[in-house]
Structure 1
Amino acid sequence: MPHSSAQQATPARSFSDAEKQALYDIIAARRDVRNEFLPDPIDPDALRRVLEAAHAAPSVGFMQPWNFILIRDEEKRKVICKAFSEANEEAASMFPSERQALYRSLKLEGIAKAPLNIAVTCDRARGGEVILGRTHNKDMDIYSTVCAVQNLWLAARAEGIGVGWVSIFRTGDLRRLLNMPSHVEIVAYLCLGYVSELHSQPELATKGWRSRLDLDSLIMEDAWTGQATVESTE
């Protein structure tokens, strides 16, 4: 006979002020790393802890739709980097002419420099046709996978491992290079490696691409009540 939830429940753990502050410090210290990677290989035990943190992420219907493709091979990463460069040049041309020089000056990936790349995928067939909690929003599996990415990122930061999310790819290129089956989506392509220093603020803010929005302008009560403030990009 199945156990009741009451039989399985344990007292909710309370965390000390120091433990809570450590979590907030890790969140505040997280950065999207591009150029600060060290060549040192990632300790296997640390990598395992980071992947276990990702696997502990919440998922709708407990479907756990993620997989993690570890990419270390230098030749494979060179080909992926070339695919990025081609897409990145296309992306540059999409911005107004007065922004293109700044765009091209930004370092937007660390594919070759980071000792490890990870493609985080979402298996959209996992769990069958009907998934608890996904019956009316088919994208909940994608959202669940993004939660795994966030867990991975924060755990990596706690381990002294930097992470950079590379999103500028033509989807077909990356799918072909990673031999992806049709029912699996690539949600995130991540670069990982130890870092000795990080920007004190998000790099795109320090280089004048965007500034952080004011939190109070983004909070609403009970329903949509107004448009979020868009800051100047000058």
Structure 2
Amino acid sequence: MPAETEGLAARPCFSEEFRREFEDLLRWRRDVRRFRKDPLSAHELEYLLQMADLAPSVGNSQPWRIVVVESRERRDQVIASFDMENEAAAQQFEPDKALQYRQLKLAGLKEAPVHLAIFSDENPSQGHGLGRATMQETLAYSTVSMIHTFWLAARTARIGVGWVSILDPELVSSILQVDDSWRLVAYLCVGYPEEEHMDPELERARWQARSPLETRLFRR
């Protein structure tokens, strides 16, 4: 059998049912901020990280660097950074909007059993620089692809993920004592959700609804 025929034979066939379930997964993904304190097993976390590591990357560089934050002291320092930056953000709004902002639940740092700090190595030897000479930021984009892959894998196991961005990246890097060439991309809270919703929390809180695709689609 010719190699190209073998390749076609080996290609998985995704059913219509699978495609519908995949759409459900995308809608179900959601940024989770309310977690139960039940621990996540080491086996479950390892499996999710292995799935995430299958994500594509520029030049096959796999620039993501994952720090599992287990130290209570370090977690508390990250939480303090969030509290400080969150209050600073609130002060940028007019009084009514600031009040609404302070009522939002924007992180599950205190409740989530797992904290993951995700960095992108800005100068990885792997990949030999392929594909990033003119767009160095593709390293960070690759890391985001890994994060999204992790997120989808987690949701298939009914595990929630929350992306915390209201942090001082340099302070977090210092707290975790990482390499100077690593750039913080995301700080993730991971655990079992306290509640489940198909719609985004910010939409339920009337902060911002999703807009239709047509507002972001252009043709030239």
TM over 0.5: yes
Q: TM-score, normalised by structure 2?
A: 0.92
Give the match's secondary structure for 2:107.
coil
Contact 2:39/2:191 (<8 A) preserved: yes
- The 5-angstrom pairing of residues 34-53 of structure 1 reads 34-35=33-34, 37-53=35-51
Q: TM-score, normalised by structure 1?
A: 0.86
Determine the C-alpha separation between the residues in 1 that align with 2:4 and 2:177: 45
Q: More relative contact order in 1 or in 2 (CA 8 Å, sep 6+)?
A: 2
Give the match's secondary structure for 1:191.
strand
Change (3 A) 1:100 1:23: same
For residues 48-73 of structure 1, the C-alpha deviation after alignment (integer angstroms, 9 at most, x for no partner) is 22111211111010000011111133
Could you list the runs of 5+ residues in structure 2 that have no partner in the other structure? none
Contact 2:58/2:127 (<8 A) preserved: no
1:93 is matched with 91
Give the match's secondary structure for 1:212.
coil
The CA deviation at 1:93 is: 0.9
The CA deviation at 1:172 is: 2.1
The CA deviation at 1:132 is: 1.3
Determine the C-alpha separation between the residues in 1 that align with 2:37 and 2:200: 22
Determine the C-alpha separation between the residues in 1 that align with 2:41 and 2:126: 36
Give the match's secondary structure for 1:182.
coil
Contact 1:116/1:191 (<8 A) preserved: yes
Determine the C-alpha separation between the residues in 2 that align with 1:131 and 1:6: 30
Determine the C-alpha separation between the residues in 2 that align with 1:8 and 1:140: 33
Question: Which residue identity is paired with 2:111?
Answer: K
1:78 is matched with 76
Give the match's secondary structure for 1:121.
strand
2:17 is matched with 18
Contact 1:145/1:187 (<8 A) preserved: yes
Aligned identity (percent) is: 35
Contact 1:74/1:112 (<8 A) preserved: no
Contact 1:166/1:189 (<8 A) preserved: yes
For residues 62-109 of structure 1, the C-alpha deviation after alignment (integer angstroms, 9 at most, x for no partner) is 000011111133332122101110111111111233310000111111
Deviating 4+ runs (over 4 angstroms): 5-10
Question: Which residue identity is paired with 1:142?
Answer: A
Q: Report the number of matched residues.
A: 217
Q: CA RMSD in A?
A: 1.9
The CA deviation at 1:6 is: 5.6
Contact 1:69/1:118 (<8 A) preserved: yes
Determine the C-alpha separation between the residues in 1 that align with 2:212 and 2:71: 42
Change (3 A) 1:8 1:79: farther
- The 5-angstrom pairing of residues 132-143 of structure 1 reads 132-143=130-141
Question: Which residue identity is paired with 1:134?
Answer: R
The CA deviation at 1:14 is: 1.3
For residues 135-165 of structure 1, the C-alpha deviation after alignment (integer angstroms, 9 at most, x for no partner) is 1111000000000000011111111111110
Change (3 A) 1:44 1:7: farther
Contact 1:54/1:152 (<8 A) preserved: yes
Contact 1:165/1:189 (<8 A) preserved: yes
The CA deviation at 1:131 is: 1.3
Determine the C-alpha separation between the residues in 1 that align with 2:95 and 2:162: 27
Determine the C-alpha separation between the residues in 2 that align with 1:8 and 1:18: 25
Could you list the runs of 5+ residues in structure 1 that have no partner in the other structure? 224-234
Question: Which residue identity is paired with 1:199?
Answer: H
Question: Which 10-residue stretch deviates more, 73-82 or 147-156?
Answer: 73-82
Give the match's secondary structure for 1:151.
helix
The CA deviation at 1:195 is: 1.9
